[in-house]
Amino acid sequence: MHGTATPAAHDRYDTVTIVFHWLTALFVLALFATGALREYAPRAWRLFWLEDVHISIGIAFTVVLVGRLVWRWAGGRRLAAATADFTGPLSKAVHWLLYVLLAVQAIIGFNLRWLQGENFSFFGLFSIPSLYASNRALAHTIENVHNWAAWALVIIAGGHAIAALYHRYVLKDGVLRRMLPIAG
């Protein structure tokens, strides 16, 4: 579908799906940034402020992800692939890969914290206790997996964003408009 046609209202995702999408993107960027900054920040920031913020955002991200998955399963609008060629199935595969990586990161993040023998604190408002005993050696291994999965997630999400921009500025087919918060 080439051209500059504006998609009809039925060609847009519903508001809840759009909000979940952009909240997920925002949380992934914030989590990646706080995780990366922890490597370079002064020790006091790493141990307290950045780690607490990273964990709190991770809890919020997990709530949004669960809500997003429930919404998708229960009633979120699903749109047909924008193209009929090979990119349609490729797009679907990338979306499922992103969902898997998002879920894996949430699961790994919780397990990493618990293996470190630490409680979760959500911005100091409440705490989620550890489910099992500390295992620092396994926690170190899981932390490496968490870091590699974070890079994979950001790279694939970056490719997803580049594909959306390609649709917008090269193909001019309205695909990006389907997920924009306001029709544009």
CATH number (domain holding residue 29): 1.20.950.20
pLDDT over threshold 50, residue 55: yes
For residue 181, the tally of other CB atoms under 10 A from its CB is 10
Confidence grade of residue 181 (pLDDT, cut at 50, 70, 90): confident
Q: How far apart are CA 124 and CA 163, in angstroms?
A: 39
- Tell me whether residue 143 is in a domain: yes
- Tell me whether residue 184 is in a domain: no
- Tell me whether residue 145 is in a domain: yes
- Tell me whether residue 67 is in a domain: yes
- Tell me whether residue 69 is in a domain: yes
pLDDT, averaged across the chain:
87
Tell me what pLDDT residue 169 has: 93
Tell me what pLDDT residue 84 has: 59
- Tell me whether residue 84 is in a domain: yes
Confidence grade of residue 7 (pLDDT, cut at 50, 70, 90): very low
- Tell me whether residue 19 is in a domain: yes
Global pTM value: 0.85
Residues 6+ apart with CB under 8 A from 60: 27, 122
Find out whether 173 and 3 touch, Cβ atoms under 8 Å: yes
Q: Which two tokens stand for residue 67?
A: 């809500």
The percentage of residues in the chain with a pLDDT greater than 90, rounded to a whole number, is: 56
Per the model's pLDDT, the better-predicted residue between 125 and 4 turns out to be 125
Tell me what pLDDT residue 26 has: 98
Domain span at 70 = 9-178
Q: What is the pLDDT of residues 64-86, one digit of tens each?
A: 999 999 998 997 766 655 565 67
Tell me what pLDDT residue 88 has: 75
Tell me what pLDDT residue 182 has: 79
- Summarize the confidence of residues 87-102 as an average pLDDT: 90
CA distances from 118 to 51, 135, 138, 161, 164 (A): 12, 11, 14, 35, 39
Q: What is the pLDDT of residues 126-176, one digit of tens each?
A: 998 998 899 999 999 999 999 999 999 999 999 999 999 998 999 888 888
Find out whether 1 and 172 touch, Cβ atoms under 8 Å: no
Confidence grade of residue 1 (pLDDT, cut at 50, 70, 90): very low
Confidence grade of residue 33 (pLDDT, cut at 50, 70, 90): very high
How many domains in the chain? 1
